Amino acid sequence: MSDEKSGPGAGSPPSDRPTSDVASSDGFAGAIRAHREGRLAEAERGYRQVLALRPEAPEVMRLLALVVHRQRQDPAAIELLERAIELAPSELQTYRDLAAVRRARGEHDAAIESCERGVSIDPQRKEAHDLLGNALRSAGRLAEAESAYREALALEPDYTEALSHLAITLRRLGRLEEAAPLARRALELEPESARHHANLGNILFQMGEHRHALAHQRQAVVLDPKLARGFTNLGMTLATLGRLPGAEDAFRRALSLTPADPQALLGLGNALVGRRRSWEAEEVFRRALERIPRAPAAWDGLAAAFEQQGRWSEAETTLRHADSLESDQPARLCRLSVVLEQLGRAPEAEEFARRAVALAPDSAIPRARLGELLLLQRRLDEAADLCRTTLADEPEAAWARFALANLDLLQGRFPEGLEGHEARWKMPDFAGANRLDEHAGSPWRGDDLRGRTILLWAEQGLGDAIQFARYAPIVAQRGARVLLAVHRPLLRLMTSLDGVEQLVERSVEYPPHDEHCPLLSLPYV
Protein backbone atom coordinates (compact mmCIF):
# COMPACT_ATOMS: atom_id res chain seq x y z
CA MET A 1 0.00 0.00 0.00
CA SER A 2 1.23 3.47 -0.90
CA ASP A 3 1.13 6.47 1.41
CA GLU A 4 0.10 9.93 0.37
CA LYS A 5 2.83 12.53 0.53
CA SER A 6 3.49 14.23 3.87
CA GLY A 7 2.68 17.76 2.81
CA PRO A 8 3.73 19.68 -0.30
CA GLY A 9 6.61 18.37 -2.31
CA ALA A 10 9.51 20.35 -3.69
CA GLY A 11 8.35 22.74 -6.36
CA SER A 12 4.73 22.87 -5.23
CA PRO A 13 3.11 26.17 -6.24
CA PRO A 14 2.34 28.62 -3.42
CA SER A 15 -0.97 27.99 -1.69
CA ASP A 16 -1.19 31.39 0.05
CA ARG A 17 0.17 34.83 -0.58
CA PRO A 18 2.97 35.80 1.79
CA THR A 19 1.96 38.06 4.64
CA SER A 20 4.68 40.72 4.46
CA ASP A 21 4.38 44.04 2.69
CA VAL A 22 6.01 42.45 -0.36
CA ALA A 23 2.60 40.96 -1.11
CA SER A 24 1.26 44.38 -2.04
CA SER A 25 3.44 44.46 -5.15
CA ASP A 26 1.52 43.96 -8.39
CA GLY A 27 4.56 42.27 -9.90
CA PHE A 28 4.70 39.83 -7.02
CA ALA A 29 0.99 38.99 -7.33
CA GLY A 30 1.51 38.32 -11.05
CA ALA A 31 4.51 36.08 -10.33
CA ILE A 32 2.49 34.02 -7.86
CA ARG A 33 -0.37 33.71 -10.35
CA ALA A 34 2.04 32.50 -13.05
CA HIS A 35 3.61 30.07 -10.55
CA ARG A 36 0.23 28.55 -9.69
CA GLU A 37 -0.67 28.20 -13.34
CA GLY A 38 2.62 26.51 -14.22
CA ARG A 39 4.08 29.36 -16.28
CA LEU A 40 7.47 28.94 -14.67
CA ALA A 41 9.61 31.21 -16.84
CA GLU A 42 7.16 34.07 -16.30
CA ALA A 43 7.05 33.37 -12.55
CA GLU A 44 10.85 33.36 -12.36
CA ARG A 45 11.06 36.75 -14.13
CA GLY A 46 8.48 38.20 -11.77
CA TYR A 47 10.19 36.95 -8.61
CA ARG A 48 13.57 38.21 -9.80
CA GLN A 49 12.11 41.63 -10.54
CA VAL A 50 10.75 41.81 -6.98
CA LEU A 51 14.12 40.73 -5.58
CA ALA A 52 15.86 43.43 -7.59
CA LEU A 53 13.79 45.93 -5.59
CA ARG A 54 13.79 44.00 -2.31
CA PRO A 55 16.99 41.89 -2.32
CA GLU A 56 16.47 40.61 1.22
CA ALA A 57 12.90 39.30 0.99
CA PRO A 58 13.20 35.65 2.20
CA GLU A 59 9.69 34.61 1.19
CA VAL A 60 10.36 35.70 -2.41
CA MET A 61 13.67 33.81 -2.40
CA ARG A 62 11.85 30.69 -1.20
CA LEU A 63 9.26 30.84 -3.96
CA LEU A 64 11.92 31.60 -6.59
CA ALA A 65 13.82 28.54 -5.33
CA LEU A 66 10.77 26.36 -5.93
CA VAL A 67 10.47 27.64 -9.48
CA VAL A 68 14.11 27.07 -10.38
CA HIS A 69 13.94 23.62 -8.77
CA ARG A 70 11.04 22.76 -11.08
CA GLN A 71 13.29 23.86 -13.95
CA ARG A 72 16.00 21.43 -12.77
CA GLN A 73 18.31 24.12 -11.43
CA ASP A 74 18.80 22.51 -8.02
CA PRO A 75 22.13 24.12 -7.03
CA ALA A 76 20.58 27.56 -7.54
CA ALA A 77 17.46 26.50 -5.62
CA ILE A 78 19.52 25.26 -2.68
CA GLU A 79 21.55 28.48 -2.61
CA LEU A 80 18.37 30.58 -2.54
CA LEU A 81 16.83 28.49 0.23
CA GLU A 82 19.98 28.65 2.34
CA ARG A 83 20.01 32.43 1.97
CA ALA A 84 16.31 32.62 2.90
CA ILE A 85 17.07 30.65 6.08
CA GLU A 86 19.85 33.08 6.97
CA LEU A 87 17.40 35.98 6.66
CA ALA A 88 14.46 34.25 8.42
CA PRO A 89 15.81 31.34 10.50
CA SER A 90 12.49 30.71 12.26
CA GLU A 91 10.52 30.14 9.02
CA LEU A 92 9.94 26.39 9.10
CA GLN A 93 8.49 26.17 5.58
CA THR A 94 11.90 27.07 4.16
CA TYR A 95 13.54 24.14 5.95
CA ARG A 96 10.73 21.93 4.61
CA ASP A 97 11.37 23.07 1.06
CA LEU A 98 15.14 22.70 1.39
CA ALA A 99 14.69 19.14 2.69
CA ALA A 100 12.31 18.38 -0.21
CA VAL A 101 14.84 19.59 -2.79
CA ARG A 102 17.58 17.56 -1.11
CA ARG A 103 15.38 14.43 -1.09
CA ALA A 104 14.51 14.91 -4.75
CA ARG A 105 18.25 14.81 -5.46
CA GLY A 106 18.64 11.65 -3.39
CA GLU A 107 20.58 13.57 -0.74
CA HIS A 108 18.75 12.11 2.26
CA ASP A 109 21.47 12.87 4.82
CA ALA A 110 21.55 16.50 3.73
CA ALA A 111 17.75 16.65 3.91
CA ILE A 112 17.86 15.31 7.47
CA GLU A 113 20.55 17.84 8.39
CA SER A 114 18.32 20.66 7.10
CA CYS A 115 15.46 19.49 9.29
CA GLU A 116 17.72 19.09 12.32
CA ARG A 117 18.68 22.74 11.89
CA GLY A 118 14.99 23.61 12.00
CA VAL A 119 14.61 21.71 15.29
CA SER A 120 17.67 23.39 16.79
CA ILE A 121 16.25 26.87 16.07
CA ASP A 122 13.19 26.14 18.23
CA PRO A 123 13.00 22.69 19.92
CA GLN A 124 9.52 23.56 21.24
CA ARG A 125 7.93 23.65 17.79
CA LYS A 126 6.06 20.41 17.18
CA GLU A 127 6.11 21.03 13.41
CA ALA A 128 9.90 20.97 13.38
CA HIS A 129 10.04 17.51 14.97
CA ASP A 130 7.37 16.26 12.56
CA LEU A 131 9.38 17.62 9.64
CA LEU A 132 12.49 15.82 10.88
CA GLY A 133 10.49 12.61 11.22
CA ASN A 134 9.38 12.88 7.59
CA ALA A 135 12.97 13.29 6.41
CA LEU A 136 14.12 10.32 8.48
CA ARG A 137 11.21 8.19 7.23
CA SER A 138 12.04 9.04 3.61
CA ALA A 139 15.60 7.86 4.27
CA GLY A 140 14.33 4.57 5.69
CA ARG A 141 15.53 5.40 9.21
CA LEU A 142 12.22 4.37 10.73
CA ALA A 143 13.23 3.96 14.37
CA GLU A 144 14.67 7.50 14.42
CA ALA A 145 11.58 8.79 12.62
CA GLU A 146 9.41 7.22 15.31
CA SER A 147 11.40 9.09 17.99
CA ALA A 148 11.00 12.40 16.16
CA TYR A 149 7.23 11.98 15.84
CA ARG A 150 6.97 11.07 19.52
CA GLU A 151 8.87 14.27 20.36
CA ALA A 152 6.23 16.21 18.42
CA LEU A 153 3.42 14.40 20.24
CA ALA A 154 5.05 15.05 23.60
CA LEU A 155 4.63 18.74 22.82
CA GLU A 156 1.03 18.30 21.63
CA PRO A 157 -0.57 14.84 22.06
CA ASP A 158 -3.34 15.53 19.54
CA TYR A 159 -1.14 16.92 16.78
CA THR A 160 -2.80 15.18 13.84
CA GLU A 161 0.12 15.34 11.41
CA ALA A 162 2.45 13.57 13.85
CA LEU A 163 -0.27 11.04 14.78
CA SER A 164 -0.77 10.19 11.13
CA HIS A 165 2.94 10.06 10.28
CA LEU A 166 3.75 7.94 13.33
CA ALA A 167 0.99 5.53 12.31
CA ILE A 168 2.54 5.23 8.83
CA THR A 169 5.96 4.60 10.35
CA LEU A 170 4.68 1.92 12.72
CA ARG A 171 2.84 0.27 9.83
CA ARG A 172 6.08 0.09 7.90
CA LEU A 173 7.75 -1.40 10.97
CA GLY A 174 5.06 -4.07 11.04
CA ARG A 175 3.57 -2.83 14.33
CA LEU A 176 0.02 -2.67 13.05
CA GLU A 177 -1.72 -3.00 16.41
CA GLU A 178 0.08 0.15 17.57
CA ALA A 179 -0.46 2.00 14.30
CA ALA A 180 -4.24 1.56 14.08
CA PRO A 181 -5.24 3.54 17.24
CA LEU A 182 -3.02 6.44 16.18
CA ALA A 183 -4.60 6.56 12.73
CA ARG A 184 -8.06 6.36 14.28
CA ARG A 185 -7.26 9.23 16.64
CA ALA A 186 -6.06 11.41 13.76
CA LEU A 187 -9.31 10.65 11.94
CA GLU A 188 -11.40 11.45 15.02
CA LEU A 189 -9.73 14.85 15.21
CA GLU A 190 -10.08 15.54 11.47
CA PRO A 191 -12.96 13.35 10.23
CA GLU A 192 -13.08 15.01 6.81
CA SER A 193 -9.42 14.35 6.02
CA ALA A 194 -8.94 12.18 2.95
CA ARG A 195 -5.35 11.44 3.99
CA HIS A 196 -6.40 10.14 7.39
CA HIS A 197 -9.07 7.87 5.87
CA ALA A 198 -6.51 6.57 3.38
CA ASN A 199 -3.93 5.97 6.10
CA LEU A 200 -6.33 4.02 8.32
CA GLY A 201 -7.55 2.06 5.30
CA ASN A 202 -3.99 1.03 4.45
CA ILE A 203 -3.36 -0.16 8.00
CA LEU A 204 -6.61 -2.14 8.12
CA PHE A 205 -5.76 -3.71 4.77
CA GLN A 206 -2.47 -5.00 6.12
CA MET A 207 -4.28 -6.30 9.21
CA GLY A 208 -6.50 -8.37 6.91
CA GLU A 209 -9.61 -6.32 7.71
CA HIS A 210 -10.33 -5.77 4.04
CA ARG A 211 -13.98 -4.72 4.25
CA HIS A 212 -13.27 -2.10 6.90
CA ALA A 213 -10.27 -0.94 4.87
CA LEU A 214 -12.49 -0.63 1.81
CA ALA A 215 -14.93 1.71 3.58
CA HIS A 216 -12.16 4.14 4.55
CA GLN A 217 -10.46 3.98 1.15
CA ARG A 218 -13.74 4.74 -0.59
CA GLN A 219 -14.31 7.70 1.70
CA ALA A 220 -10.80 8.98 1.03
CA VAL A 221 -11.40 9.30 -2.71
CA VAL A 222 -14.88 10.75 -2.16
CA LEU A 223 -13.35 13.49 -0.02
CA ASP A 224 -10.47 14.05 -2.47
CA PRO A 225 -11.19 12.85 -6.03
CA LYS A 226 -7.63 13.82 -7.00
CA LEU A 227 -6.04 11.45 -4.49
CA ALA A 228 -4.20 9.29 -7.02
CA ARG A 229 -2.63 6.87 -4.57
CA GLY A 230 -5.97 6.62 -2.82
CA PHE A 231 -7.48 5.17 -5.99
CA THR A 232 -4.53 2.80 -6.36
CA ASN A 233 -4.96 1.50 -2.81
CA LEU A 234 -8.71 1.22 -3.31
CA GLY A 235 -8.04 -0.87 -6.41
CA MET A 236 -5.71 -3.17 -4.50
CA THR A 237 -8.33 -3.79 -1.81
CA LEU A 238 -11.09 -4.41 -4.33
CA ALA A 239 -8.84 -6.84 -6.20
CA THR A 240 -8.05 -8.68 -2.96
CA LEU A 241 -11.79 -9.03 -2.33
CA GLY A 242 -12.23 -10.42 -5.85
CA ARG A 243 -14.21 -7.38 -7.05
CA LEU A 244 -12.28 -6.99 -10.26
CA PRO A 245 -14.56 -4.63 -12.22
CA GLY A 246 -14.39 -2.13 -9.37
CA ALA A 247 -10.65 -2.66 -9.05
CA GLU A 248 -10.15 -2.00 -12.74
CA ASP A 249 -12.14 1.23 -12.50
CA ALA A 250 -10.12 2.38 -9.47
CA PHE A 251 -6.79 1.73 -11.16
CA ARG A 252 -7.95 3.57 -14.29
CA ARG A 253 -8.98 6.53 -12.14
CA ALA A 254 -5.52 6.53 -10.56
CA LEU A 255 -3.88 6.47 -13.99
CA SER A 256 -6.04 9.33 -15.21
CA LEU A 257 -4.37 11.39 -12.48
CA THR A 258 -0.84 9.92 -12.74
CA PRO A 259 -0.61 8.17 -16.13
CA ALA A 260 2.80 6.59 -15.57
CA ASP A 261 2.37 5.37 -11.98
CA PRO A 262 3.94 1.87 -11.97
CA GLN A 263 1.89 0.56 -9.06
CA ALA A 264 -1.39 1.55 -10.70
CA LEU A 265 -0.23 0.01 -14.00
CA LEU A 266 0.66 -3.26 -12.27
CA GLY A 267 -2.67 -3.28 -10.45
CA LEU A 268 -4.60 -2.64 -13.65
CA GLY A 269 -2.67 -5.34 -15.50
CA ASN A 270 -3.39 -7.90 -12.79
CA ALA A 271 -7.08 -6.94 -12.71
CA LEU A 272 -7.31 -7.41 -16.47
CA VAL A 273 -5.66 -10.83 -16.19
CA GLY A 274 -8.20 -11.69 -13.51
CA ARG A 275 -10.98 -10.66 -15.89
CA ARG A 276 -9.52 -12.85 -18.66
CA ARG A 277 -8.62 -9.82 -20.81
CA SER A 278 -5.03 -10.87 -21.30
CA TRP A 279 -4.37 -8.94 -24.51
CA GLU A 280 -5.21 -5.67 -22.78
CA ALA A 281 -3.19 -6.78 -19.77
CA GLU A 282 -0.17 -7.48 -21.95
CA GLU A 283 -0.21 -3.90 -23.25
CA VAL A 284 -0.50 -2.50 -19.71
CA PHE A 285 2.40 -4.59 -18.41
CA ARG A 286 4.56 -3.48 -21.33
CA ARG A 287 3.78 0.13 -20.38
CA ALA A 288 4.82 -0.64 -16.82
CA LEU A 289 8.08 -2.18 -18.01
CA GLU A 290 8.94 1.02 -19.86
CA ARG A 291 8.92 2.69 -16.44
CA ILE A 292 10.32 -0.12 -14.29
CA PRO A 293 12.25 -2.52 -16.55
CA ARG A 294 13.90 -4.30 -13.63
CA ALA A 295 10.73 -4.89 -11.60
CA PRO A 296 10.12 -8.64 -11.24
CA ALA A 297 6.41 -8.04 -10.58
CA ALA A 298 5.98 -6.47 -14.03
CA TRP A 299 7.64 -9.46 -15.71
CA ASP A 300 5.50 -11.82 -13.62
CA GLY A 301 2.40 -9.97 -14.79
CA LEU A 302 3.44 -10.12 -18.43
CA ALA A 303 4.04 -13.85 -18.03
CA ALA A 304 0.53 -14.23 -16.59
CA ALA A 305 -0.89 -12.61 -19.74
CA PHE A 306 1.10 -15.05 -21.89
CA GLU A 307 -0.06 -18.00 -19.78
CA GLN A 308 -3.68 -16.99 -20.23
CA GLN A 309 -3.17 -16.82 -23.98
CA GLY A 310 -1.47 -20.23 -24.07
CA ARG A 311 1.82 -18.69 -25.22
CA TRP A 312 3.76 -21.09 -23.03
CA SER A 313 7.23 -20.62 -24.51
CA GLU A 314 7.02 -16.85 -24.09
CA ALA A 315 5.69 -17.34 -20.56
CA GLU A 316 8.68 -19.55 -19.72
CA THR A 317 11.17 -16.99 -21.08
CA THR A 318 9.47 -14.17 -19.19
CA LEU A 319 9.30 -16.04 -15.89
CA ARG A 320 12.94 -17.05 -16.18
CA HIS A 321 13.85 -13.39 -16.74
CA ALA A 322 11.89 -12.44 -13.60
CA ASP A 323 13.78 -15.18 -11.77
CA SER A 324 17.09 -13.68 -12.92
CA LEU A 325 16.06 -10.40 -11.25
CA GLU A 326 14.69 -12.01 -8.08
CA SER A 327 15.59 -15.64 -7.66
CA ASP A 328 14.13 -18.47 -5.60
CA GLN A 329 10.58 -17.19 -5.23
CA PRO A 330 8.39 -20.24 -4.48
CA ALA A 331 5.26 -18.85 -6.15
CA ARG A 332 7.16 -18.12 -9.37
CA LEU A 333 8.78 -21.56 -9.33
CA CYS A 334 5.31 -23.07 -9.07
CA ARG A 335 4.21 -21.07 -12.10
CA LEU A 336 7.26 -22.25 -14.01
CA SER A 337 6.24 -25.75 -13.05
CA VAL A 338 2.81 -25.21 -14.60
CA VAL A 339 4.30 -23.73 -17.77
CA LEU A 340 6.77 -26.59 -18.18
CA GLU A 341 3.98 -29.10 -17.67
CA GLN A 342 2.04 -27.40 -20.48
CA LEU A 343 5.14 -27.63 -22.67
CA GLY A 344 5.23 -31.39 -22.06
CA ARG A 345 8.31 -31.29 -19.84
CA ALA A 346 6.92 -33.09 -16.79
CA PRO A 347 10.26 -34.03 -15.16
CA GLU A 348 11.39 -30.37 -15.21
CA ALA A 349 7.97 -29.30 -13.94
CA GLU A 350 8.30 -31.64 -10.98
CA GLU A 351 11.85 -30.42 -10.32
CA PHE A 352 10.63 -26.82 -10.03
CA ALA A 353 7.72 -27.84 -7.80
CA ARG A 354 10.06 -29.73 -5.47
CA ARG A 355 12.42 -26.70 -5.38
CA ALA A 356 9.49 -24.54 -4.33
CA VAL A 357 8.58 -27.00 -1.57
CA ALA A 358 12.18 -27.02 -0.33
CA LEU A 359 12.24 -23.21 -0.21
CA ALA A 360 8.87 -22.89 1.51
CA PRO A 361 8.13 -26.16 3.30
CA ASP A 362 5.35 -24.59 5.37
CA SER A 363 3.61 -22.90 2.44
CA ALA A 364 0.47 -24.41 0.96
CA ILE A 365 1.00 -23.40 -2.68
CA PRO A 366 4.19 -25.37 -3.44
CA ARG A 367 2.91 -28.57 -1.84
CA ALA A 368 -0.42 -28.14 -3.59
CA ARG A 369 1.38 -27.71 -6.91
CA LEU A 370 3.45 -30.84 -6.35
CA GLY A 371 0.32 -32.72 -5.35
CA GLU A 372 -1.41 -31.56 -8.53
CA LEU A 373 1.48 -32.81 -10.65
CA LEU A 374 1.36 -36.19 -8.93
CA LEU A 375 -2.39 -36.38 -9.53
CA LEU A 376 -2.00 -35.48 -13.20
CA GLN A 377 0.52 -38.27 -13.56
CA ARG A 378 -1.90 -40.66 -11.79
CA ARG A 379 0.63 -41.18 -8.99
CA LEU A 380 -2.28 -41.29 -6.58
CA ASP A 381 -0.57 -42.96 -3.63
CA GLU A 382 2.27 -40.40 -3.68
CA ALA A 383 -0.24 -37.55 -3.88
CA ALA A 384 -2.23 -38.95 -0.95
CA ASP A 385 0.94 -39.40 1.13
CA LEU A 386 1.93 -35.79 0.47
CA CYS A 387 -1.48 -34.54 1.61
CA ARG A 388 -1.57 -36.72 4.73
CA THR A 389 1.94 -35.68 5.71
CA THR A 390 0.91 -32.05 5.33
CA LEU A 391 -2.22 -32.53 7.45
CA ALA A 392 -0.23 -34.27 10.15
CA ASP A 393 2.03 -31.21 10.36
CA GLU A 394 -0.71 -28.66 9.75
CA PRO A 395 -4.24 -29.96 10.46
CA GLU A 396 -5.83 -26.76 9.12
CA ALA A 397 -4.14 -27.01 5.69
CA ALA A 398 -7.31 -26.59 3.62
CA TRP A 399 -5.64 -27.26 0.27
CA ALA A 400 -4.43 -30.68 1.44
CA ARG A 401 -7.89 -31.64 2.70
CA PHE A 402 -9.34 -30.39 -0.60
CA ALA A 403 -6.80 -32.42 -2.60
CA LEU A 404 -7.56 -35.56 -0.58
CA ALA A 405 -11.24 -34.95 -1.27
CA ASN A 406 -10.55 -34.93 -4.99
CA LEU A 407 -8.67 -38.20 -4.60
CA ASP A 408 -11.65 -39.68 -2.73
CA LEU A 409 -14.07 -38.53 -5.43
CA LEU A 410 -11.79 -39.87 -8.16
CA GLN A 411 -11.79 -43.27 -6.50
CA GLY A 412 -15.53 -43.39 -5.76
CA ARG A 413 -15.46 -42.57 -2.05
CA PHE A 414 -18.25 -40.01 -2.37
CA PRO A 415 -19.30 -39.30 1.26
CA GLU A 416 -15.68 -38.64 2.29
CA GLY A 417 -14.94 -36.73 -0.90
CA LEU A 418 -17.99 -34.48 -0.74
CA GLU A 419 -17.34 -33.62 2.89
CA GLY A 420 -13.67 -32.84 2.25
CA HIS A 421 -14.60 -30.80 -0.82
CA GLU A 422 -16.09 -28.16 1.52
CA ALA A 423 -12.51 -27.30 2.54
CA ARG A 424 -12.34 -25.20 -0.64
CA TRP A 425 -14.03 -22.32 1.19
CA LYS A 426 -11.20 -22.19 3.70
CA MET A 427 -8.74 -21.40 0.90
CA PRO A 428 -8.74 -17.56 0.70
CA ASP A 429 -7.80 -17.33 -2.97
CA PHE A 430 -10.57 -19.76 -3.92
CA ALA A 431 -13.16 -18.06 -1.72
CA GLY A 432 -12.26 -14.64 -3.13
CA ALA A 433 -12.21 -15.75 -6.75
CA ASN A 434 -15.55 -17.56 -6.40
CA ARG A 435 -17.45 -14.70 -4.80
CA LEU A 436 -18.19 -16.05 -1.32
CA ASP A 437 -17.89 -12.46 -0.03
CA GLU A 438 -21.09 -11.52 -1.87
CA HIS A 439 -23.16 -13.64 0.53
CA ALA A 440 -23.87 -12.82 4.15
CA GLY A 441 -23.71 -15.54 6.76
CA SER A 442 -22.72 -19.19 6.50
CA PRO A 443 -24.14 -21.40 3.72
CA TRP A 444 -27.18 -23.59 4.40
CA ARG A 445 -26.28 -26.90 5.98
CA GLY A 446 -29.52 -28.89 5.75
CA ASP A 447 -31.84 -27.15 8.25
CA ASP A 448 -35.62 -27.19 7.78
CA LEU A 449 -36.51 -24.99 4.79
CA ARG A 450 -40.30 -25.07 4.94
CA GLY A 451 -41.67 -21.60 4.33
CA ARG A 452 -38.19 -20.13 3.77
CA THR A 453 -36.45 -18.65 0.73
CA ILE A 454 -33.04 -19.98 -0.31
CA LEU A 455 -30.65 -18.60 -2.91
CA LEU A 456 -28.70 -21.29 -4.76
CA TRP A 457 -25.77 -19.75 -6.60
CA ALA A 458 -23.23 -20.84 -9.22
CA GLU A 459 -19.77 -20.55 -7.72
CA GLN A 460 -17.43 -21.65 -10.50
CA GLY A 461 -17.74 -22.28 -14.23
CA LEU A 462 -20.66 -22.80 -16.58
CA GLY A 463 -20.11 -26.57 -16.71
CA ASP A 464 -20.28 -26.86 -12.94
CA ALA A 465 -23.48 -24.81 -12.89
CA ILE A 466 -25.11 -27.09 -15.47
CA GLN A 467 -23.95 -30.21 -13.62
CA PHE A 468 -25.21 -29.23 -10.19
CA ALA A 469 -28.31 -27.14 -10.93
CA ARG A 470 -30.20 -30.45 -11.01
CA TYR A 471 -30.22 -30.34 -7.20
CA ALA A 472 -32.47 -27.26 -7.19
CA PRO A 473 -35.73 -29.29 -7.57
CA ILE A 474 -34.66 -31.50 -4.65
CA VAL A 475 -34.26 -28.38 -2.48
CA ALA A 476 -37.69 -27.16 -3.63
CA GLN A 477 -39.22 -30.51 -2.61
CA ARG A 478 -38.17 -29.69 0.96
CA GLY A 479 -40.66 -26.83 1.00
CA ALA A 480 -38.31 -24.00 0.09
CA ARG A 481 -38.91 -21.10 -2.24
CA VAL A 482 -35.87 -21.45 -4.53
CA LEU A 483 -33.99 -18.60 -6.18
CA LEU A 484 -31.26 -19.67 -8.61
CA ALA A 485 -28.34 -17.39 -9.58
CA VAL A 486 -26.30 -18.46 -12.62
CA HIS A 487 -24.06 -16.92 -15.28
CA ARG A 488 -25.85 -14.82 -17.88
CA PRO A 489 -25.29 -17.29 -20.78
CA LEU A 490 -27.14 -19.98 -18.80
CA LEU A 491 -30.30 -18.03 -17.96
CA ARG A 492 -32.30 -19.26 -20.95
CA LEU A 493 -31.25 -22.87 -20.44
CA MET A 494 -32.20 -22.84 -16.76
CA THR A 495 -35.80 -21.77 -17.47
CA SER A 496 -36.47 -25.47 -18.17
CA LEU A 497 -35.54 -26.44 -14.61
CA ASP A 498 -38.41 -27.45 -12.32
CA GLY A 499 -38.79 -26.06 -8.83
CA VAL A 500 -37.08 -22.69 -9.39
CA GLU A 501 -39.35 -19.79 -8.50
CA GLN A 502 -37.02 -17.01 -9.63
CA LEU A 503 -34.00 -17.11 -11.91
CA VAL A 504 -31.39 -14.33 -11.59
CA GLU A 505 -27.97 -13.51 -12.95
CA ARG A 506 -24.95 -13.83 -10.67
CA SER A 507 -24.37 -10.40 -9.21
CA VAL A 508 -23.62 -8.54 -6.02
CA GLU A 509 -27.31 -7.56 -5.54
CA TYR A 510 -29.67 -10.49 -4.97
CA PRO A 511 -33.39 -10.64 -4.09
CA PRO A 512 -34.14 -11.03 -0.36
CA HIS A 513 -33.60 -14.56 0.94
CA ASP A 514 -33.28 -16.41 4.24
CA GLU A 515 -30.53 -18.90 3.33
CA HIS A 516 -27.95 -19.36 0.61
CA CYS A 517 -25.91 -22.28 -0.68
CA PRO A 518 -23.35 -22.65 -3.50
CA LEU A 519 -24.40 -25.25 -6.05
CA LEU A 520 -21.34 -27.48 -5.56
CA SER A 521 -22.13 -27.84 -1.85
CA LEU A 522 -25.59 -29.31 -2.51
CA PRO A 523 -24.43 -32.93 -3.04
CA TYR A 524 -22.76 -32.86 0.39
CA VAL A 525 -25.72 -31.17 2.11
Give the residue with greater pLDDT, 463 vs 388: 463
d(CA 326, CA 336): 14
The proportion of the chain whose per-residue pLDDT surpasses 70, expressed as a percent, equals: 93
- Give per-residue burial for 360-380: e unless 16+ CB within 10 Å, then b: beeebbbbbbbbbbbbeeeee
**pLDDT value, residue 94:** 87
**pLDDT value, residue 394:** 72
Q: Is the pTM of this model over 0.85?
A: no
Q: Please state the φ and ψ torsions of residue 175, each to the nearest 5 degrees.
A: -100, 70
Question: What are the CA-CA distances from residue 215 to residues 190, 204, 238, 413, 437 (Å)?
Answer: 17, 10, 11, 45, 15
Q: Decide if pLDDT at 431 tops 90.
A: no
Residue type for position 296: P
pLDDT tier at 168 (50, 70, 90 boundaries)? very high
**pLDDT value, residue 17:** 47
Tens digits of per-residue pLDDT, 59-85? 888 898 888 888 888 888 888 888 888
Q: What value does the mean pLDDT take over residues 346-357?
A: 91
Question: Please, how many CA atoms are within 13 Å of residue 505, restricted to the half-sphere of its CB?
Answer: 4
d(CA 61, CA 74): 14
- The torsion angle over the Cα atoms of residues 181, 185, 188 and 189, rounded to 10 degrees, is -170
Q: How far apart are the first and last CA of the chain?
A: 40
Q: What value does the mean pLDDT take over residues 227-242?
A: 94
**pLDDT value, residue 483:** 93
Question: What are the CA-CA distances from residue 40 to residues 33, 44, 285 (Å)?
Answer: 10, 6, 34
Question: What are the CA-CA distances from residue 455 to residues 23, 426, 481, 501, 520 (Å)?
Answer: 68, 21, 9, 10, 13
Mean pLDDT taken over the chain: 88
Q: Decide if pLDDT at 432 tops 60.
A: no
Q: Decide if pLDDT at 420 tops 60.
A: yes
Total residue count of the chain as it appears in this document: 525
**pLDDT value, residue 322:** 97
Q: Decide if pLDDT at 16 tops 60.
A: no
- Closest among 154, 81, 166 to 118, alpha carbons compared: 81
The proportion of the chain whose per-residue pLDDT surpasses 90, expressed as a percent, equals: 53
Tens digits of per-residue pLDDT, 254-306? 999 999 999 999 999 999 999 989 999 999 999 999 999 999 999 999 999 99
Tens digits of per-residue pLDDT, 130-151? 999 999 999 999 999 999 999 9
Give the residue with greater pLDDT, 27 vs 177: 177
Question: What are the CA-CA distances from residue 241 to residues 213, 265, 434, 485, 491 (Å)?
Answer: 11, 19, 10, 20, 26
Q: Please state the φ and ψ torsions of residue 70, each to the nearest 5 degrees.
A: -60, -25
**pLDDT value, residue 344:** 92
Q: Decide if pLDDT at 14 tops 70.
A: no
**pLDDT value, residue 10:** 56
**pLDDT value, residue 326:** 95
Lowest average pLDDT, out of 200-214, 362-376, 401-415, goes to: 362-376
DSSP helix/strand/coil, 457: strand
Tens digits of per-residue pLDDT, 94-117? 888 888 888 888 888 988 988 898
**pLDDT value, residue 9:** 55
**pLDDT value, residue 129:** 94
Tens digits of per-residue pLDDT, 19-60? 455 554 567 888 888 888 888 888 888 889 888 888 888 888
